[in-house]
Amino acid sequence: MKVVIQRSKQASVTVEGEVTGAIDKGYVLLVGITHTDTPEDIAYCAKKVAELRLWEDEEGKMNHSILETSGAILSVSQFTLYGDTKKGRRPSFIEAARPEQAKPMWDAFNEALRVYGLHVETGVFGAMMDVALINDGPVTIVIDSAK
């Protein structure tokens, strides 16, 4: 499982002209699921997202988690995180989980974040989405449960 965390001041997802999720201060999560991911991968990534200290304290050091700053989550499923570009000019997505496996795992990941007490908004699984954000910092971190 791969999760790209983008710390944001404001973010939203629009599908066919309708806003499906929006947050103020928090994280935009781009979430990729591979066919070998397990509930343990979900738990690992959810804990990392909730507990990583990516918010500054009064001295300007990243010492606070999203839990401590009352931030929200905008979670966007993104199979393209498993795009393999080693051969040719068109990415191969063979490592991305099939939708029938990926959607329940993405839903479970979002629920795991809610268990930590986080407010979670989402995009729409499998849809063409317009994701807008004001990146804060910018701060961008990649979590990979396989490493």
Rounded alpha-carbon distances, angstroms, from residue 70 to 25, 45, 80, 120, 122 = 8, 19, 30, 12, 17
Catalytic sites, residue numbers: 78-80
- CA 34 and chain centroid, separation: 14
Residue 69, CB-side half-sphere exposure with 13 Å CA sphere: 24
Residue 131 contacts residue 123 (beta carbons within 8 Å): yes
